[in-house]
Amino acid sequence: MSYTKEHWKGSVITSPLPPTLVSCAYGGKMNVLTVAWTGILCTRPPMTYISVRPERYSYELIKQSGEFVINLPTKEIVRAVDLCGVRTGAKVDKFAEYGLHAEEAADVSAPLIAECPVSIECKVKEIVPLGSHDMFIADIVGIDAAKELLDESGKLCLEKAGLIAYAHGGYFELGKQLGSFGYSVKKNKKRKSKVR
């Protein structure tokens, strides 16, 4: 199928994106904010980024500490994800108000969120001013994964987590798998027929 397209001016429409809960702490203050402008930048060394508006309460906490944690939320806490994106930590303790629990991280001072099955510990490498947002480029220094999502061989099975996606202003539950990396070029193994 091909599409007839209408041309619009440049805007932010890439989707879906992961609506993550980014936790941070500095100077005795702790907060969590919702960030969908995030992704992987590099495999070796493992690097990620988040883009945050400088006027956000968490911006200075991340800038001053040089650390943050990207927590991957599930469909069970989607309301908290939305609340953490529309309310400011300057006026409300989001952990207490929205039923989230902070846990100590192994490699950074920012907390993990207990209700998220995967937490990605990050140390800021560079801050790049872009316009409305500044991009925090960071090294991934640790991953905390729920044991409940590991199979017998220790492989992380994220499809069991109930993760969510954000697309064009809406939150969505992830659906069925359509393929896996490299499946389009993978050769089918021929079945050996039994000799009778």
Q: Can you spell out the DSSP letters for 13-77? A: ----B--EEEEEEETTEEEEEEE-SEEEEETTTTEEEEEE-TTSHHHHHHHHH-EEEEEE-BGGG
> Does residue 186 form part of some domain?
no
> Does residue 76 form part of some domain?
yes
> Does residue 189 form part of some domain?
no
Domain containing residue 76: CATH number = 2.30.110.10
* Count of domains forming the chain: 1
> Does residue 182 form part of some domain?
no
> Does residue 32 form part of some domain?
yes
Determine the average pLDDT of the residues in 127-149: 97
pLDDT band at 183 (very low <50, low <70, confident <90, very high): confident
CB half-sphere exposure, 122, CA atoms < 13 A: 28
Range of the domain at 40: 20-173
The overall average pLDDT reported for the chain is 93
pLDDT band at 133 (very low <50, low <70, confident <90, very high): very high
Q: Which pLDDT belongs to residue 194?
A: 56
> Does residue 123 form part of some domain?
yes
User: How many Å apart are CA 27 and CA 13, to the nearest integer?
Assistant: 36
pLDDT band at 186 (very low <50, low <70, confident <90, very high): confident
> Does residue 136 form part of some domain?
yes
Q: Is 107 left (phi over 0), alpha (psi -120 to 50) or beta?
A: alpha
User: How many Å apart are CA 136 and CA 66, to the nearest integer?
Assistant: 9
